[in-house]
Amino acid sequence: MRIRVLGYGGWLSSHWIGYTSLAIDDEVLIDVGECAHRQLMECLGKPYLRHVVITHRHGDHLLGLPTLALWAKAFGDTINVYAIEDVAEAVALLFKAVGQERLLGHLDMHLLEPGKSFEVAGLEVLPLEARHTVPAVSLRIRRGGICVVVSGDTAPNPGLAKVGRGCLLIHETSGNPGQEEAANRHGHSTTVDAVRAAEEMGATALVPLHYYVHQPVVPPAAVRIVIPTKCGVIEPEKFV
Ligand SMILES: [Zn+2]
């Protein structure tokens, strides 16, 4: 499995690191914030991907979808979108707001239910309810014996440890040590929360991302830390 980091910033982050978005095996896009098209071109040379999983409806995870749909239309293609109902409703409103309702015909919506796994491009994906300010999911992505947990935006979520034993953990870190109370109150986690989650999971490694404008400070951890880089590739097999 190849995880390409297209961006690793939160909504108010330094512009050059891009909004948090991942491409699995260069085929499945996880989250599609503003500039997703540009991120795909920079990192993969592809204008869009045919499979898009959206964790929740906040703009840094969703606003790039109309542009990808427009590119799919230009190629006579359709994008499979996998998301919970709350996101599907937001997608319809978004396309209406930007005057592109007709592009909805170039989306094939697949509704997700937390706890019910689905298959996409040879990957088994299990959505789990996250603890955010809007309905949101975390994802466990598995193929063969290799698995990855993507937290999405969430306050500490004990559910991840239950399903993610032995997985690589990609966890949001919207705050630094000492900021737990404020971060958790806004449905986010700090680097301390992420390290704790990785240790509880028995994760093979932790990739902290979704930084804000402050540089992340990661506390000492009994787990390997993998630093994301723009367009960098993470291969979970290497950490087993
Ligand atoms: Zn969010």
50-80 tens-digit pLDDT = 999 999 999 999 999 999 999 999 999 999 9
Q: Is 237 a member of any domain?
A: no
Please count the structural domains in the chain: 1
| Mean pLDDT, residues 211-235 taken together | 95
Calculate how far, in angstroms, residue 58's C-alpha sits from the geometric centre of ligand 1.
5
Calculate how far, in angstroms, residue 115's C-alpha sits from the geometric centre of ligand 1.
20
pLDDT value of residue 214: 86
Calculate how far, in angstroms, residue 92's C-alpha sits from the geometric centre of ligand 1.
19
pTM for the structure as a whole: 0.97
Q: Is 193 a member of any domain?
A: yes
Structural domain range at position 222: 3-230
Q: Is 53 a member of any domain?
A: yes
pLDDT tens digits, residue range 88-116? Answer: 999 999 999 999 999 999 999 999 999 99
Calculate how far, in angstroms, residue 103's C-alpha sits from the geometric centre of ligand 1.
25
pLDDT value of residue 188: 97
Calculate how far, in angstroms, residue 197's C-alpha sits from the geometric centre of ligand 1.
19
Q: Is 48 a member of any domain?
A: yes
CA pair distance 53, 31, nearest whole angstrom: 6
Q: Is 21 a member of any domain?
A: yes
pLDDT value of residue 210: 96
Give me the CATH number covering residue 116: 3.60.15.10
Q: Is the pLDDT of residue 213 over 90?
A: no
Q: Is 198 a member of any domain?
A: yes
**The three-state (H, E, C) secondary structure of 102-140, written as one string:** HHHHHEEEEECCCCCCEEECCEEEEEEECCCCCCCEEEE
Calculate how far, in angstroms, residue 150's C-alpha sits from the geometric centre of ligand 1.
13
